[in-house]
Amino acid sequence: MWREAIGRLAEERTLEKEDFLVLMEELPREGEQELFRRARETARSVFGREIYVRGLIEISNVCRNNCYYCGIRRGNREADRYRLSREEILACCGNGYSLGFRTFVLQGGEDPAQDDRWVEETVAAIRMRYPDCAVTLSLGEKTREAYRRFREAGADRYLLRHETADPVHYAKLHPAEMSYENRIRCLWDLKELGYQVGTGFMVGSPYQTLDTIWEDLQLIKKLRPEMIGIGPYLVHHGTPFAGRKNGSMIWTLRLLAIFRLLYPEVLLPSTTALNTIHPEGRSLGILAGANVLMPNLGPAERREKYELYDHKRSTGGEAAEGIRLLETILGKIGYTISASRGDYGEHGVH
């Protein structure tokens, strides 16, 4: 049965729920390797053996939200808070540019001090100094007007995980002042404003089931984002979910492969969370069909403070200084780093 399920997925680019359940629950080791092989071949047919790198800059770990799963939640009084100045961010971009990065990802909590005007002016400053680079934002829920201003200032992409497509599940992961409807509104606003949109979810988050993951797949089918970011849920001790189990690496890898086969042209990161849960997680993600890595360009002394989950990897290949190490790691599995911006559409993607 699993052979037929993989065949339909790889050849028809469609997935029925029955086949999805087989791939997630009933796949033997042999079938898993076949799934990953087909996903790998599909990624190579579109992107070759190049892996895009994005320079990640974690600009603030201050957040007004109190999400139950997140280590930088407002209610975590143990967090050592920081925020980068615009000058520090531009310095990070300069360092990244000299290393060959042509995409900068500004990620942070929803920090009231870094308000919409500040973000807009920061994007404009990066755009002015590095006009040949792409600017990606991952700064949470904003108004449509704010997203429009960021776009006009020069932001190309926006990453906003929907986290779950099930409103009941969403309410179990977030406090009452946050709403599933607003999260989805943000994603459609971003799409309509012309951003390259990234969304995704944590694999194995509390109360998640295969039924809720199936709903995630249906939302992504409707939204058709340019990037799908998934990684295993990892516990943080300073949250209400402390003591829960981490998410499954295997389910994460299977879902990466499924997304690659469903959407051959999509940008698919192998995440830091995946590399945190397993020492070779980064490489395993690429071998399951991923084609994007996000080394950290932020100041070394701040990286450990942006702790969304426990034991986050923030050195070695996760740091921008480790770019040569990253090249060596990728070389061992037959891949190279691409200095391209890696725009959606660059390989004839529609």
Whether the Cβ atoms of residue 96 and residue 103 lie closer than 8 Å to each other: no
User: Does 287 carry a binding-site annotation?
Assistant: no
Segment holding 125, helix H or strand E: helix 116-129
DSSP letter for 333, please: T
Residue from 112, 107, 110, 114 nearest 63 by CA: 110
User: Does 85 carry a binding-site annotation?
Assistant: no
User: Does 138 carry a binding-site annotation?
Assistant: yes
Phi, psi at 199, each rounded to 5°: -140, -175
Residue from 238, 230, 302, 240 nearest 272 by CA: 230
User: Does 120 carry a binding-site annotation?
Assistant: no
Whole-angstrom CA distances from 338 to 51, 124, 201, 293 are 6, 25, 26, 10
In whole angstroms, what is the distance from residue 210 CA to residue 332 CA?
A: 34
User: Does 163 carry a binding-site annotation?
Assistant: yes
Q: Which residues make beta-bridge pairs with 232?
A: 203
E strand map for the chain: 50-53, 55-60, 103-108, 134-138, 157-159, 196-203, 227-232, 292-293, 336-338
Segment holding 281, helix H or strand E: helix 281-287
Whether the Cβ atoms of residue 62 and residue 81 lie closer than 8 Å to each other: yes
Which residues line the annotated binding site for [4Fe-4S] cluster? Answer: 63, 67, 70
Binding residues for S-adenosyl-L-methionine: 163, 183, 234
Q: Which residues are annotated as a binding site?
A: 63, 67, 70, 138, 163, 183, 234
User: Binding site for (3R)-3-methyl-D-ornithine: which residues?
Assistant: 138
